[in-house]
Amino acid sequence: MVKTSNDAAAAISADTELVAAEAAIEEASTFADAAVSAGEVGQGAKHIDRKELTAEQRGQLSREMARRQRKLGQYELERFYESAIVVPMDIKLNNPHIASSATRFLGLTDRTLYLVNRFGARFMSEADIDATREAVNKKIQRYEEEAAQALSQGLALTSEAKKENPDWLSPVYTSAALDTGFQVKTRDTVRLIKALRVWDQAILEFATLEFNDSATINQLETMRVRERSMFLDINTQCIRTIRAFYKRRNEAANKRSKAAAAEEQSSTPA
Which pLDDT tens digit goes with each residue over 199-224?
999 999 999 999 999 999 999 999 99
Domain ranges across the chain: 2-43+51-254
CA angle 31, 200, 208 (to 5 degrees): 150
Q: Is 190 left (phi over 0), alpha (psi -120 to 50) or beta?
A: alpha
In whole angstroms, how far apart are CA 83 and each of 17, 19, 107, 120? 13, 16, 18, 18
Express the helix, strand and coil content of the chain in percent, nearest 5 each.
75, 5, 20
**pLDDT confidence of residue 4:** 41
How many angstroms separate the CA atoms of 187 and 167, rounded?
43
**pLDDT confidence of residue 38:** 52
Segment 26-39 mean pLDDT = 70
**pLDDT confidence of residue 180:** 95
Query: Bigger pLDDT: 252 or 76?
Result: 76
pLDDT at 1 > cutoff 90: no
How many angstroms separate the CA atoms of 182 and 75, rounded?
11
> What is the number of alpha carbons within 13 Å of residue 136 lying toward its C-beta?
29
Q: Report how far Cα 172 is from the mean position of its chain's Cα atoms.
A: 29
Write out pLDDT tens, residues 67-115.
Answer: 888 888 898 999 998 888 999 999 999 999 999 999 999 999 999 999 8
Write out pLDDT tens, residues 133-158.
Answer: 999 999 999 999 999 999 999 999 99
How many angstroms separate the CA atoms of 18 and 21, rounded?
5
Write out pLDDT tens, residues 225-241.
Answer: 999 999 999 999 999 88
How many angstroms separate the CA atoms of 144 and 205, rounded?
17
pLDDT at 6 > cutoff 90: no
Closest CA to 27 of 86, 66, 76: 76
pLDDT at 19 > cutoff 50: yes
